[in-house]
Amino acid sequence: MNRVQLRFLSQADNVGLARLMAAGLAGQGNFTLPDIEEIKVAVSEAVSNAIIHGYDNRPDGWVEVVMELDAQGLTVVVEDWGVGIEDVAQAREPAFSDDPERLGLGFVFMESFMHGLEVASTFGKGTRVRMRRLITEISHDAQ
Ligand SMILES: Nc1ncnc2c1ncn2[C@@H]1O[C@H](COP(=O)(O)OP(=O)(O)OP(=O)(O)O)[C@@H](O)[C@H]1O
Ligand SMILES: [Mg+2]
């Protein structure tokens, strides 16, 4: 088991740091390169949401990413202390966005690339997204 934690200010440049950390930790596990690419996308979407929506693009909010690797998979928690989400079920609907310029696909990517997604949010207090990606065993006996 391994665990890492990264806390950074809500600035777009820091999305890359979170992606690097995810790739590095996932690389210690039995994930394939395509698996790792998908994990990076899911982490980017959650961190971007924290910056863009949680802090409304203000550069001075804290975002925290905690990742835990175990024999079965990788758990990622992304947290912000920003505006929060009033209606989580609505926010998670495909193509829902509070911004007409955006596609509203961030949660869709997280859902499809990870094996579990939980969104906990308190309006006015912040948001915590927890997602888990399992290591899928590849059978080397398969023809
Ligand atoms: N951390 C957050 N804090 C506050 N609101 C959030 C947060 N994450 C998501 N939301 C809300 O949920 C909505 C849906 O998020 P989602 O990532 O699916 O789409 P989007 O960010 O609007 O568009 P896209 O991700 O395609 O650019 C957002 O428009 C926003 O209203
Ligand atoms: Mg988004």
| Full set of structural domains in the chain with CATH | 2-134 (3.30.565.10)
What SS3 class is residue 29?
coil
pLDDT grade for 39, boundaries at 50, 70 and 90: very high
Which among 139, 142, 136 is positioned nearest to 36, based on CA atoms?
136
Catalytic machinery residues: 45, 49, 102
Residue range 60-88, pLDDT digits in tens: 999 999 999 999 999 999 999 999 999 99
pLDDT at 1: 96
pLDDT at 137: 77
The rounded radius of gyration (Å) of the Cα atoms in the chain is 15
Residue to mutate, 15, 45, 49, ligand 1, most ligand atoms under 8 Å from C-beta: 49
**Could you tell me the pTM of the whole model?**
0.96
Ligand nearest to the Cα of 94, by number: 1
Q: Is 62 in the pocket of ligand 1 (CB under 6 A)?
A: no
